[in-house]
């Protein structure tokens, strides 16, 4: 009896699921199980215990978790309070510069949270930029370097989530609801109050996303909250792992609470929306007519938007750039390029930047391939496997990066792995795998919309004419999704290039990525050099993004650019 060779159609899905289990499911489950069964991982004497789960409700750990919950709630509220009017003005009026306004929101969103935090710290700290120019304002220093500053930075970071979610909802909402309110004597403000409940799903989604992003944030916790002696859950979890001796079961117990806390806004959202219908779009929906603003109205709107961008981007950028031009704790306000000279003359300072460029490019390429495959699975006929994949990717979005990294420590540092020749812990390979695992859920979501529009006949027609699988894909599919693939690659590259929590826990010895090198310089009081390193890294990332977009515009076939633009 002849045994047939498995076809590629059967092998590839099996390999894909194996990769998902190894890079997402196994590390997260291993870390969470550790909270109740430490002996399974040689971290305690009990195969089952609730001791560590109980310990997180006492002492400094309880304080840190409580701080994370209330800070995240306030930050989510700030995101909606600021994001809703910005979205309304952009979507419903003829305010100028709507395109640049939306682009600036994406910039606020794409910058890692530790960079604005770093800019604020360099600006307001004692003997920082503000004090060097003669602005001795201790109350500002105490406000920013404390709970207020943490809430401010996290709240500003949540504004783009609310802006994008509400803008999308308003774009599909007809004009008739506002017109009906105005006909019955409602003012413009009252008309907005009529429309707001109709887009409640978008508002609640923005609150849920904002809360989840804030509660899982590590950048602000490490660069702003911790130096201000304001402990947050993610940094407390990191400290439990990084202390000597480490307490992995305690960290795993905190991870349970952080992940479970995301259910709070989701439960509130479900309760608020239960029993109501929001299906208001139909063939009779009237096209939106943008309200024409007066010159004074446009000036006020642009002034308000400009003020937000000043606080979100301008002030921290000023703090970072000016801080990089100051000598380390000099006695007077003197501008110098000494920090940049030291940066470019030291291979030890430039090497982390080059290293992160390599990590970002490799991870982005690997993740885009996996993300495309995941998107193909998600857009096929719904089966148990695709529903589980959908759930797994959504759940992974809610898992803080620091928990991802901790899971990799536990899953790939077990003694039996060394016995069978698998030695991934503290290697560049494991770091890149962790980067890819944390980026894959978002990457797949970015590609789902474009991949869902593809018909199987596009590739089949090329196969009928004798083309192989690769050539058929390049001819029939690639032109349609080249731009979405490009943007997914850039999104992953920029995120990995400046990523902090995973880098901090998993980088290979003597090979720190740029974010870790910056943090080390700041921790060792090399403030000017560390800030110069961060400014250079951000500018380099922006230059690379522009170069990649320019190369696509110049080198991609004209048909790819034309067809891809209509499906991006």
Task: Dump pLDDT digits (tens) for 363-408.
Answer: 999 999 888 888 888 777 667 777 777 777 766 766 778 888 888 8
Would you state the pLDDT for residue 449?
64
Helix (H) or strand (E) holding 485: helix 478-497
Cα torsion 169, 277, 209, 21: sign: negative
Helix axes 59-92, 98-110, angle to 10 degrees: 170
Q: 514: closest CA among 310, 337, 359, 393?
A: 359
Mean pLDDT of 91-106: 82
Quote the percentage of the chain above a pLDDT of 90. 13
Mean pLDDT of 113-123: 85
Would you state the pLDDT for residue 358?
94
Scanning 111-218, the segments in alpha helix (DSSP H) are 114-124, 129-132, 138-144, 147-171, 176-183, 188-195, 200-215
Query: Given pLDDT bands bounded at 50, 70 and 90, which one contains residue 282?
Result: very low
Highest mean pLDDT among 121-130, 135-144, 478-487: 135-144
Would you state the pLDDT for residue 402?
81
Structural Rg of the chain based on CA atoms? 25
Residue 190 has pLDDT above 60, yes or no: no
Q: What is the mean pLDDT of the chain?
A: 78
Highest mean pLDDT among 328-342, 416-430, 529-543: 529-543
Would you state the pLDDT for residue 529?
85
Per-residue tokens: 24: 């997402």
- Identify any residues that bridge with 93 across adjacent strands, giving them in sequence order: 291
Mean pLDDT of 215-227: 87
Residue 466 has pLDDT above 80, yes or no: no
Residue 329 has pLDDT above 50, yes or no: no
Highest mean pLDDT among 238-247, 279-288, 363-372: 363-372
The region, left, alpha or beta by phi > 0 then psi within -120 to 50, assigned to residue 421 is left
Would you state the pLDDT for residue 149?
92
Residue 259 has pLDDT above 60, yes or no: yes
Would you state the pLDDT for residue 1?
45
Per domain, the residue ranges of the chain are 54-274
Per-residue tokens: 482: 């080249």
- Identify any residues that bridge with 326 across adjacent strands, giving them in sequence order: 335
Cα torsion 395, 396, 400, 402: sign: positive
Would you state the pLDDT for residue 172?
55
Terminal alpha carbon distance of the chain:
51
Residue 498 has pLDDT above 60, yes or no: yes
Q: What is the 3-state secondary structure (H, E, C) of 223-264?
A: HHHCCCCCCCHHHHHHHHHHCCCCCHHHHHHHHHHHHHHCHH
Check residue 7 and report its DSSP letter: P
Q: 303: closest CA among 85, 74, 77, 78?
A: 85
Would you state the pLDDT for residue 70?
94
Q: 34: closest CA among 221, 263, 240, 213?
A: 240
Would you state the pLDDT for residue 352?
92
Mean pLDDT of 52-79: 89
> Which CATH homologous superfamily contains domain 54-274?
MetI-like (1.10.3720.10)
Query: Given pLDDT bands bounded at 50, 70 and 90, which one contains residue 567?
Result: very low
Query: Given pLDDT bands bounded at 50, 70 and 90, which one contains residue 251?
Result: confident
Q: Give tens-digit pLDDT for 152-178.
A: 999 999 898 888 777 766 765 555 555
Interacting residues of 20 by C-beta distance below 8 A, sequence separation 6+? 389, 392
Least confident of 35-49, 287-301, 443-457: 443-457
Residue 538 has pLDDT above 50, yes or no: yes
Residue 181 has pLDDT above 60, yes or no: no
Q: 162: closest CA among 198, 211, 99?
A: 211
Residue 21 has pLDDT above 60, yes or no: yes
Quote the percentage of the chain above a pLDDT of 70. 78
Query: Given pLDDT bands bounded at 50, 70 and 90, which one contains residue 196?
Result: low
Name the residue with tokens 């940066």: 343
536 vs 461: which has the higher pLDDT: 536
Would you state the pLDDT for residue 281?
41
Give ∠ CA 438-440-444 in degrees, rounded to 5.
Answer: 145
Mean pLDDT of 101-116: 83
Residue 331 has pLDDT above 60, yes or no: no
Euclidean distance between CA atoms 178 and 165, whole angstroms = 20
Least confident of 74-78, 414-418, 420-424: 414-418
Name the percent of the chain in helix, strand, coil, to the closest 5.
75, 0, 25
Query: Given pLDDT bands bounded at 50, 70 and 90, which one contains residue 279?
Result: very low
């Amino acid at each position: 009896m002849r045994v047939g060779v498995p076809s590629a159609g059967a092998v590839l899905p099996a390999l894909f699921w194996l990769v998902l289990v190894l890079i997402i499911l196994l590390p997260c489950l291993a870390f969470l199980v550790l909270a109740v069964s430490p002996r399974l991982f040689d971290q305690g004497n009990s195969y089952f215990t609730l001791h560590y789960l109980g310990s997180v409700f006492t002492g400094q750990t309880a304080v840190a978790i409580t701080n994370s919950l209330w800070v995240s709630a306030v930050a989510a509220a700030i995101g909606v309070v600021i994001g809703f009017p910005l979205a309304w003005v952009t979507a419903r009026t003829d305010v100028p510069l709507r395109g640049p306004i939306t682009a600036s929101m994406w910039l606020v969103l794409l910058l890692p949270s530790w960079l604005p935090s770093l800019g604020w710290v360099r600006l307001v700290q004692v003997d920082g930029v503000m004090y060097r120019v003669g602005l001795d304002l201790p109350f500002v220093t105490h406000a920013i370097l404390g709970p207020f500053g943490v809430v401010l930075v996290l709240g500003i970071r949540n504004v783009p989530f609310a802006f994008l979610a509400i803008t999308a909802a308003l774009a599909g909402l007809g004009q008739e609801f506002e017109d009906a309110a105005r006909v019955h004597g409602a003012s413009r403000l009252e008309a907005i109050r009529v429309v707001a409940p109709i887009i409640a799903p978008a508002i609640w989604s923005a609150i849920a996303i904002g809360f989840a992003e804030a509660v899982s944030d590590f950048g602000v916790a490490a660069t702003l909250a911790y130096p201000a002696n304001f402990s947050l859950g993610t940094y407390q979890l990191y400290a439990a792992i990084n202390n000597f001796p480490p307490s992995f079961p305690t960290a795993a117990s905190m991870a349970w609470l952080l992940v479970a806390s995301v259910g709070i806004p989701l439960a509130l959202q479900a309760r608020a929306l239960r029993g109501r219908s929001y299906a208001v779009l139909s063939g009779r929906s009237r096209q939106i007519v943008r309200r024409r603003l007066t010159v004074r109205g446009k000036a006020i709107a642009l002034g308000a938007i400009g003020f937000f961008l000043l606080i979100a981007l301008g002030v921290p950028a000023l703090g970072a750039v000016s801080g990089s031009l100051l000598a380390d704790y000099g006695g007077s306000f003197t501008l110098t390029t000494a920090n940049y000279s030291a940066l470019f003359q030291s291979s030890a300072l430039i090497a982390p930047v080059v290293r992160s460029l390599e990590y970002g490019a490799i991870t982005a390429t690997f993740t885009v391939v996996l993300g495309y495959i995941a998107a193909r699975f998600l857009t096929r006929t719904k089966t148990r496997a695709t529903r589980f994949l959908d759930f797994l990717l959504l759940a992974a979005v809610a898992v803080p990066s620091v928990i991802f990294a901790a899971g990799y420590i536990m899953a790939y540092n077990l003694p039996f792995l060394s016995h069978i020749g698998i030695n991934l812990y503290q290697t560049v390979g494991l770091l890149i795998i962790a980067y890819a695992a944390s980026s894959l859920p978002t990457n797949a979501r970015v590609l789902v919309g474009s991949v869902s529009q593809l018909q199987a006949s596009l590739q089949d027609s090329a196969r009928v004419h004798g083309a192989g699988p690769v050539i058929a894909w390049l001819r029939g599919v690639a032109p349609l999704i080249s731009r979405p693939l490009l943007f997914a690659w850039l999104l992953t590259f920029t995120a990995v290039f400046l990523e902090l929590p995973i880098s901090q826990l998993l980088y290979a010895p003597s090979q720190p990525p740029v974010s870790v090198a910056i943090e080390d310089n700041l921790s060792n009081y090399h403030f000017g050099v560390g800030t110069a390193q961060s400014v250079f890294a951000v500018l380099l990332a922006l230059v690379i993004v522009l170069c990649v977009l320019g190369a696509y515009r110049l080198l991609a076939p004209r048909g790819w650019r034309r067809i891809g633009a209509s499906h991006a």
